[in-house]
Amino acid sequence: MKQVVMVGPRKSEVIDVPIPEITDDQLLVKVTYTGMCHSEWYPWTVAQPGELFGHESVGVVARCGRNVTGFKEGDRVTGLGGGGLREFIVMEPEKVVHVPDNLKDEDAIVEPLACLLSAAVKMPLTTLGDSVAVVGCGYMGLGMISLFKAMGYGDIVAVDIRKEALDNARRFGATETYLPEALPQEYILDWKAIGAPDLKRDGHKTDIFGIGFPNVMEFTGTESGLQLAGEMVCAHGRMGIGGYHNDSLRTIDYKLWNFKAMDTINCHERRIMYEAGLCGRIMMLLSRGIWNFTGVTNHIYSLEEFDKGMEEMEKHANGFIKGAVRCD
């Protein structure tokens, strides 16, 4: 079978490897698509020979271990794990769910959606119709906007440095969209808005409770985006960090965060079985139209075009929102 393997930074090749064997408790899945995840962009830029990428797979069961129940050959499935830039992968049944008949394979790439739903659990709606700001409107930010809409948030304010991304944000439920430099003054609670704190009196010279948002979600993965998201949180508000900050250390104004008494929530999840438990619910939400987030994977590449796809993801080229590699 064919498999993508790295030969160095930003450079891969397709090689032939044996089809993997499975145990009595595993599934062999013939992969149709593997999603391209931005968390792998930086590792791809510094990759060493032999490294493998791809962890967002959907496909068809090719063989079942003798102890496996609930699945049969020919079932369309998606799930977590597998190492998917190859024609066949081994998957654990407890991390796999069926794909509903009314969903396309490219809409059923469940791994990033599980990340979004687990993030939403950490940012629960406390008051129906409450407002929220989303900073960063790539694939994950758009998914969060659409999920916040389904959850019952009211005003959903989207911020991005790209106008095209803001147009997409409107499509998925944002009620207001802004470039960072165009944000209204009342949406930013930074030191300029606060004024010099006078801790001998009441701690501040302006009404810090009427500026900013009670809920802010960051999905930029950049230092500047993280800083802006923090500035948009109102006093005693909360900020969820969903961006993947894996390329370098971040310098933030924690003095500002501390002064505003804001909560910061790491919205990433490392309990794989917890996320696996969300996958079936996600398929239900999508198939019933409760979570309106389909038709987003708009760039498809062959195994041989993996590097091209990563470059286009890096540059957001040609309207890129989400890419996937066709593996069959």
Range of the domain at 230: 124-266
Same domain, 163 and 290: no
Instruction: State what percent of residues in the chain have pLDDT above 90.
Output: 87
Same domain, 252 and 136: yes
Same domain, 13 and 55: yes
Paired sense of beta strands 322-326 and 297-302, if any: parallel
Q: Is the pLDDT of residue 209 over 80?
A: no
**Predicted pLDDT at 246:** 86
**Predicted pLDDT at 236:** 92
**Predicted pLDDT at 81:** 80
Same domain, 157 and 259: yes
Cα(43)–Cα(17) distance, rounded to whole angstroms? 23
**Predicted pLDDT at 200:** 46
Same domain, 259 and 278: no
CA distances 33 to 52, 255, 303, 319, 327, Å, are 16, 45, 10, 20, 6
Q: Is the pLDDT of residue 4 over 90?
A: yes
CATH assignment of the domain containing 87: 3.90.180.10
Which has the higher per-residue pLDDT, 195 or 182? 182
Based on the structure, what is the number of domains in the chain? 2
Q: Is the pLDDT of residue 161 over 90?
A: yes
The last residue of one of the domains, among 247, 266, 285, is 266
Could you report the per-residue pLDDT of 291-302, keeping only the tens digit for each?
A: 999 999 999 999
- Asked if the structure places residue 119 within a domain, the reply is no
Q: Is the pLDDT of residue 233 over 90?
A: yes
Mean pLDDT value of segment 21-25: 97
Could you report the per-residue pLDDT of 256-272, keeping only the tens digit for each?
A: 999 889 999 999 998 98
Contact 281, 104 (CB under 8 A): no
Same domain, 220 and 275: no
- Asked if the structure places residue 118 within a domain, the reply is no
- Asked if the structure places residue 228 within a domain, the reply is yes
Cα(95)–Cα(55) distance, rounded to whole angstroms? 12
Mean pLDDT value of segment 90-97: 96
**Predicted pLDDT at 116:** 96
Same domain, 138 and 251: yes
CATH assignment of the domain containing 254: 3.40.50.720
